[in-house]
Copies of this chain bind each other. A is one copy, B any other.
């Protein structure tokens, strides 16, 4: 504990347009055999939740974006969207 406020970050990571999503395609192809023949455009993405202690919401968002570029996402083939909300202090 640092005494700094805590923020919850929610990151949605999906494939860039044009990048294949083989897991999603496989699930979509399996659905008609189970009786679901009205489904299209199925995409599987990743989402990450984390808590961080930071001086401000702007700084939290900056750090999470930097973490996405460096380790959480692969910017060559993935898009990410970051949202940050302050957690109530206990």
- Confirm or deny: A43 has a beta carbon within 8 angstroms of a beta carbon on chain B: yes
Q: Once the chains bind, are B49 and A46 in contact (CB under 8 Å)? A: no
Q: Once the chains bind, are B43 and A44 in contact (CB under 8 Å)? A: no
Q: Which residues of B contact A48 (CB under 8 A)?
A: 24, 27, 42-45
Would you mind naming 8 contact pairs between A and B with Cβ atoms under 8 Å apart? Answer: A4-B38, A36-B67, A38-B54, A40-B52, A41-B49, A43-B50, A44-B47, A45-B49
Q: Once the chains bind, are B70 and A27 in contact (CB under 8 Å)? A: no
Q: Once the chains bind, are A71 and B30 in contact (CB under 8 Å)? A: yes
| Known contacts A31-B67, A71-B27, A71-B30; A41 and B46 CB within 8 A of each other | no
Q: Which residues of B contact A71 (CB under 8 A)?
A: 27, 30-31, 34
**18 further contact pairs, Cβ within 8 A, besides A24-B48, A36-B67, A42-B50:** A12-B47, A28-B50, A30-B71, A36-B52, A38-B52, A38-B53, A38-B63, A39-B50, A39-B51, A39-B52, A40-B51, A42-B48, A43-B49, A44-B46, A44-B48, A45-B48, A46-B46, A47-B47
